[in-house]
Structures are given as structure tokens and as C-alpha cells.
Amino acid sequence: MHRSNVYCRNGAVAASQPLAVAAGLETLRRGGSAIDAAITVSAVLSVIEPGASHLGGDAFVITHDAGNKRQTAFNGSGEAPRGATADQFKGKIDHHGYRSATVPGLVSTWFEIHSEGGNLPMQEILQPAIEYANSGFPVTSGFVRRIAHHLKQFPETNLFASLNFPTNLGAGDLLVQPELGRSLEAIAADGRDAFYEGEIARSLIESSNGWFNENDLVQHRTRVISPLRISYRGLDIHGQPPPSQGMILMEELLLAEGFSVSELNEAERIHMMVEAKKIAFQDRYEMLGDPEFIDINLEKLFTASSIDSRRAKIDLARANTNPVSYNQEGSDTTYFLTADRDGNAVSWIQSVFHGFGASWVIPGTGIIMNNRLTGFSLDSNSPNYIAPGKRPAHTLNAWIATRSDGSLAHVGGTPGANIQVQTNFQLITNAIDLAMSPQENAEAPRWQHLNGPSYSDGEENFNGVLQIENRVSKNVLDELKRLGHEVQELAPYGHGSSVQLLEATESGSFILGSDPRSEGQAAGF
């Protein structure tokens, strides 16, 4: 392994950026709960990883309350503005600009989740993010590369000029964001209303020429609901309900439970899981939308008879080469986890959707807006058809696993758009079926199946491409090809995930792992 597992008992944080990890640990040391630490990490990441998440973005969270042995899901996704209808767009939703955004849900989620289990005042929780915005932080090489990549893709953007980012930033240079600092100070002092009713809201309404209106912002709320829950090998897996596509992860696991995963060889295991993924994604495309607008009967989908009928379609001797429905999703996201001395835990994922979201800043605030509106469909037959006040289908999902007695067992997640539910599928089976430790799991070779058309020998293939890190043996790759998969090798650690993992022992200790594919780390005390 590149790194060893981290063992601790009193507090734990794992995230994609070390400064955010340190800030979360400091909140825990000051007597903060796992929820307090998670809000600290969330806010710091918005300052120091603006390409992946920001105050203008969304969040999906699952919490574990150790005292009550209860799990809660927080759906911090935003609604389409009241003026966002299909006829506003000419065949395609705007990729950038305020017309590509939904109402931001992240700040609302901070306050909603804080009311459920916060110990410290929000002024104290947000102070590290305020300091990094006002006093600056040294940018990483990844930060610099992300800006360069965005400029290469969209050379006409004025995003970085709007943010007053220097054009010649290099790794280690200090970046100060005073406008963002003032926004965070206002939120810390005046609470949720500072974002949804105060100067920030007024600036968004005015600068969007009324695309967003007062009601869009005032009426937004973070939904607090029960997670999806299934049983897998005697553990309860708690996942994100719709409009998150967490349903895919649940269905994948239910399909896999009918196979002796630990007894399959590596090629057989990957093949079976890819075939399960295809089935679950097809169901997602046919069913998923905002449950406040459409009926989504997941109870029926998850029944034994339904799963058995779908599992029967998996042929262990041959890949399914029928066309699979697909859509392109943004992949710029960040995932992290926290846990405290009382055994409470938080599994949190937040995003602006595509890189730097809408590539548009609320003037005078330093806040980057999401471009999540592009996650809707303009096809009136789709369950994900755009409508005012409706939330788009989301890739964001995070999970927690508990034992039969309700105690915490595992926490995990990753960024990666449509790859998220595939990676999480691998993480859970690696942990439960193959008994991998968190760090071993974070570093294990990984695969991803990409839906959509590809081309080989001049032939168009709609079955997709199976990409696998080339640390697996040639025999495994050859066997997967023989089974009918179009295989593409990735670099040894070329998979696009950034996994953070926690295992809770029955004695009350934490074991942590963090993905070497990213700049992050796991730490505790």
C-alpha cells in the first residue's frame, strides 16, 4: 500500500484536501460534533477547491446518530427557477451562465444539519473558511491544473476575472478571496437568511435579470428524509433517496447478493458487477426524477421477485451487448467524512456539477453558481423533464453501513459523476465480501464502465467501454475481453475517483483510508 491505515478513537476526518482535514479535526478538538466538523470541512473545501464545490452548489448527506442508532438523509439539491421551462431553451440547456443553475442548496444544508446535531455556534464552525478566504491559502498543483483545464476548454470565460484570481498562479502561491470572505462572514453572523434573503440573494436576483426571483430563494429548503435502506450480507446499507441516483447502488448490491462474490475470481467478479451495473443504470434512466413531481416505486423495484427477475438476465458466461441508455453527467464534486468520540458519523458529498459549475459568479460575493440545471432532460417523456420548482436527477450519493444492532460499521464515498455508484459498489463489496481494510480498499485496482457510443475497428458500439486500471493481470483483461467486454486499460492509478473510507470497529475505534489518486488524506486523534 502507498499509505498505512489511520487508527484513532476520538475524532476522524477524511477529505480530498489536507487543509480541510486539519480544519475539521480542529473543530472536533474544540468539542465540536461530527456534524460541526463536517460543516467546517464543507465550507473550507468551498474556499480551497472552488472547481469542485462552492456556496452556489448542492450537497447530499447521510448522518449516523450513535445514541439513537438512527440514520438521516439530507437532500440539499436546489430547484429549477420558476421561469425555467423547456421552451426557454433551443434544444439544449445552457451549459454556462445563470441560466444553467438551480437554486443553491449547500448553505441551507449547513443550517439544517446543524439544527440536528451541532454543538458549536456557526460563527466558530465557519471561522476556518473565513480565515482562508480573507488571509489566503497556498494553492496546490491540482488547483492550478484545474484552472488551466477550464481555460483550455472555455477560453472565453470571464470567471477568473470575476473572482479576481491572478492569471499566473503557481503551486504554493497565496490566493486571497475577500469577497467570498465577506459572504461567509455575513452567513456566520446572520445565518441562512443572509444567503437566501439578504444581500447575496438580492445580487443573484438582480444580476440574473430576474431569472431567479425572491420566491425561488425564500421557498427553497433542504429536505430531511429517511435514507434508502437495504440489507447486504447482514449489514444495513443506507443510501441516498431520489432525486439522487443512490437507487443504482442499492440495486447493484441487491443483484450482487445472489452471487458468492468472495468465491468468484477477479474476472468473474468484475464481469458480474458490470452486468449488474448495466441493469441498474437502465432502471435509473427509466424511473428517476424528482419524487415530488413523479411516482417512483423503489419498494417494488427492490422486492425479491423484481431483483430475482433482473438477476436472471446476468449471464456469467457472456456480456450483455444490447444498447444501454445513457446521459453525460458533470464530474466535479468532492466527498468527505467525519466521525466523533461519541461514534456519530457524517457521509457528505457536495458539488457544482461540471468543473467550476456555471462558470459564473454572483457579483460582489465571490460565490460560484452550479450548472445543475443541465442535469434535466428536455424530452417531455422523461421522468427527469425540466419543470419550474423541480429538482433534477442527481449523481450525488453517499452511504453508511450499520450492523444488525444499529452500530456503525462503514462510511464511504467518492466523487465521479456516473462513476460514483460504480465505485461505491466496489468499495462496499471489497469491504464486506473481500474483507479489505479501508486503505487497502482505497488503493485497490478499480474499474469503470462508461455508457454510450464508442468506436472500435470503425464499428460503433453502444454497449459502452470497460476501463480498468492496468494493475490487474493480463489474464484478467484477456478473460474480460473473451466474455465480450470492450476493455480499455487505464494508468495504474488512472481511475477518476477520490475515495475516503472509515471502518468502525465493534470496540469503538475508527480505521481510515484515503485515496492516493487525489491530494487528500485521512487523519484522526
CB 337 within 8 A of CB 503: no
**Interatomic CA distance for residues 287 and 242, integer angstroms:** 10
Q: Which residue has the cell 476520538?
A: 10
How far are the Cα atoms of 169, 231, 426, 434 from residue 275, in angstroms, in the given order?
Answer: 45, 20, 13, 19
**Interatomic CA distance for residues 60 and 80, integer angstroms:** 17
The cell numbers describing 308, all together, are: 430475482
Choosing from 63, 109, 222, 333, the catalytic residue is 333
Closest residue by Cα to residue 142 from 178, 161, 170, 175: 170
CB 215 within 8 A of CB 285: no
Other CB atoms closer than 10 Å to residue 265's CB: what's the count? 11
**Interatomic CA distance for residues 435 and 428, integer angstroms:** 10
Long-range own/partner contacts, residues 425-428 (CB < 8 A, 24 or more apart) = 425/249, 425/252, 425/253, 425/256, 425/273, 425/276, 425/277, 426/273, 427/499, 427/501, 428/232, 428/237, 428/249, 428/253, 428/399, 428/401
Q: One-letter amino acid identity for 293?
A: F
CB 469 within 8 A of CB 426: no
Polymer length of the chain: 525
The cell numbers describing 94, all together, are: 445552457
Closest residue by Cα to residue 239 from 72, 447, 460, 452: 72
Is 365 catalytic? The answer is: no
Q: Could you give the residue numbers annotated as active site? A: 333
